[in-house]
Structures are given as C-alpha cells and as structure tokens.
Amino acid sequence: MDAKNLLLEALETRWKKFRAELKTCRAEFSEEAVHDLRVATRRLLALFDLLRFIFSHKRIQEIRRSLKEQLDDLDDLRDTQVMLADISEFIHEIPSLHLFQESLQKSEKTLLRQTRKRIKSREISGLAKRVEKVRSMIEDLPAESLRDQILMAADERFARVLQTHAAIDVENVPSIHKLRIAFKKFRYTVEIVSPLLDNFPPANFERMHTYQSMMGDIQDLEVASQTLTELTDASQPDLEPVTLHYASRLRMAVLKFIEDKGEAFTFWRNSPDQPFPWENPT
C-alpha cells in the first residue's frame, strides 16, 4: 500500500468506526459502549495528530478539539466505572470497601445522567463536513516523500516516549503517567503506519498493549486513591484498610512496571538513521 492510500483508508475506517460506536453509545449507553466509543475516538484522534504533522491546517485543529471534548465528556464516567469494577473483585476481602463503593455509586448515577445527555446532544454534522474536507486535502497531497513524512511523525512520537522514559522517577507516579500518555499516542500512530514497514511483527501490537496496560493499572490505582480522599473522609478508622489496600497495590504495580520498563526500546528505532529492532534483533 502506498502512503496516500494508507492515509485515505485509515481515515475511512476510523471515521466509520467512530460514527458506528457513537450511534451504539447513544442507543445503548452501556459501560461497554462507552469504552468502545472512547477507543474509537482515540484512534481517530491519533490519525489527525499524524495528519497535523504532515500538513498544518486550522480544520485539523478544529477536528482534534472536537474529538478531545468528547473524550473529556467520557473520562469521569469511565474512571468511576473502572473503580467500581475493581472494588467488586476485592470487597469480599475488605468489607470497608463498601463505604467507598457507596460513594462511587452515587457519583456514577449523576455521571450517567450527565454523560448520556452530552453524548445525545453532541452534534457531529459540522465534524463530518470537516472530515470530508480533510479527505480532499489528503487526496491532493504530493506523493513524493509522503512515506518519509509519515515515518518521521512516528519517529517524533517515539522520541517523546524516550524523553518521558528517561524522566521516570519511581517515587513520582505522575512521571509514569506522562510516559503512558506519550506511549499511547505512539502506539496508535504505529497502528496506522505499520503497513508501510517491511516485516513489522504483528505480535508487537499485543506487546505494546500489554506494556501500556501496566501503566494504565498504575494510573487507575492512583485515581482511586485520590478519589477515595475526595469522596470520603479517608481519615475515618473504618477506611484505613481501604487506604492501605490502594497504597499497597499501587506500590506493587509501580515495582512491576519498573522491572519491565526497558521493553519500550524494543518497539521502534532510536533514531531515523538506525534499523528497526525487528530488522536487527540482538
């Protein structure tokens, strides 16, 4: 596949997937539907992040802004539902989790009502027109050097991964969160550009997902710890086991990730003048 057709196909499939998941979420509004819409939105956003690297235009910025706003609409509900699902796995061991569960369930009711209203009221006709305009802009791109530009965008994404990786501090959980954000953007970019690469290992997709998930577990536990403090009086003696529960799990998750954090270097080349890891395995 040539570079231009790659971009056009990515736009077609990701825009179609986004619209389908938005329609499903509006009709069902289940936890699964919210999750699938978030993923479809992030993958579409990743494409426009890539296109922004190739050509700068206010239309792309407008699309990105709209997609980010939709993600913001879903974030709080997603975090709350993740915490509730996690609590259900441990509540039989730590009865005090009931107090936290009750607070989250109250929040979830409010968030369900607010988020459903936002999703149903969000108008995408303007977004659709902008996407069609961008499609035309892609078709008008000169084919020369387009492949190199796309790979340069991936190189830039990976450079950010390396930068945040170097800044990791085991005592500073937000530093891991910065790496997670950078790696997530890199991973979604690789999903787009991989057809341009010779002998790209398909197994890398699952490996990257696993690597990102380790950091996601850390972030979820950090959010739970912060939310516990915000929603309840965490100084209550009854909640001490809950506070210790999250602190212990967070510490173990960080230690587990630190052991494997070097795997990041196996997913891409360190610089454009070097071979990809799968081309020069050592």
Q: What is the mean pLDDT of residues 105-131?
A: 93
Summarised one tens digit per residue, pLDDT across range 61-87 is 999 999 999 999 999 999 999 999 999
Summarised one tens digit per residue, pLDDT across range 194-235 is 999 989 999 999 999 999 999 999 999 999 999 988 876 655
DSSP 3-49: HHHHHHHHHHHHHHHHHHHHHHHHHH--HHHHHHHHHHHHHHHHHHH
pLDDT at 281 over 60: no
Are the CB atoms for 29 and 119 separated by under 8 Å? yes
Its pTM stands at 0.91
270 or 230, which is more confident: 270
Domain boundaries, the chain: 1-143, 145-282
The per-residue pLDDT for 240 is 85
The per-residue pLDDT for 112 is 94
The per-residue pLDDT for 144 is 86
Q: Which CATH number fits domain 1-143: 1.40.20.10, 3.40.640.10, 2.40.30.20, 2.40.180.10?
A: 1.40.20.10
